[in-house]
Amino acid sequence: MAGLRIGIDFGLTNTDVVLVRGGELLEHWVLPYAGPASEALLYRALAAGNRDLSEFDSIATTGGLHRTLPDEIEGVPIHKADEAESVGRGGLALAGLEEALVVSAGTGTAMIAARGKKTQHLTGSAVGGGTLLGLSKLLIGTSHPLEVAHLAALGDPAGVDSTLKDAIGGGIGHLPASATAVNFGKVGSLPSPPKREDIAAGLVVMVGQVIGVVALSAAQAAGLREVVVVGHLPDLEPVRKAILAVWEFYQAEPQPLIPERSGAATALGAVLATADQD
């Protein structure tokens, strides 16, 4: 299978694996976190896709401690890709754009100005999927992403958040009365604990708003019209809606692009970024 390359992104929550030929993404699969990059985890990633090292021309790696891997394994070269470049290149490829702010919304959040093959880490936030699941574990007793998303879909963030209507009696400027004034600002004055569903909804809105507001500001500062959101956090529909709602509140256009298989972006970008090393 000449020209077949594998890309592996060793993330803090998931390990993403892609198969690529000629720059085209063929397959993508995910392993739950099993530690930082290692030869053992590399073999495990291959086994999860029923693949053998002999099939590949090279391996492109990025993410957690990937630079500690050897330069080759069983005669197959291992290329190490800069993570910011991988995010940027992969995001542009999945979105079919020449330039954009690429937001990697995973365990944490990174924001990359990507223009063709040139990438620059602009900013980011420690708020991300890890924040959502960690606070969910503390407040509603679960850190399972799908359960948190299900509860959030059933809840109402206004059950825990103070809205502009609560704070000033209505909207302000282009922000509607339903916009959040204070995340979890209502909880201290509630006569009884809020419902789990409302807590989940409030957490999702808080995380999504932080990511959205920082991304919108970063894109404007960098002079980039398009925003592409990648990573696994947008897999959760309530989070996706919370991020997109920021553009609606601020009447900003165009809305961010969230490509299909967005979780594959960084692993794909690692392959693209190291293609000239073969």
- pLDDT under 70: residue ranges of the chain: 1-2
CATH architecture for segment(s) 124-249: 2-Layer Sandwich (3.30)
pLDDT in tens, 222-259: 999 999 999 999 999 999 999 999 999 999 999 999 99
Which strand ranges, in their side-by-side order, compose the sheet holding 227-230?
Answer: 118-125, 109-115, 99-105, 227-230
Domains of the chain, residue spans: 4-96+263-277, 124-249
Tell me what pLDDT residue 64 has.
86
Q: What is the predicted pLDDT for the residue at 34?
A: 82
The whole-number pLDDT of residue 180 equals 93
Residues 6+ away with beta carbon under 8 Å from 199:
139, 140, 151, 155, 159, 160
Q: What is the 3-state composition of the chain as percent helix, strand, coil, each rounded to the nearest 5?
A: 45, 25, 30
In the structure encoding, which two tokens stand for residue 22, read together?
């000629």
User: Are 4-96+263-277 and 124-249 the same fold in CATH?
Assistant: yes
**What kind of fold does domain 4-96+263-277 have according to CATH?**
Nucleotidyltransferase; domain 5 (3.30.420)
pLDDT in tens, 11-30: 989 999 999 999 999 999 99
- Buried-exposed string 87-121: b where 16+ CB fall within 10 A, e elsewhere: bbbbbbbbbebebbbbbbbbbbbbbbbbeeeebee
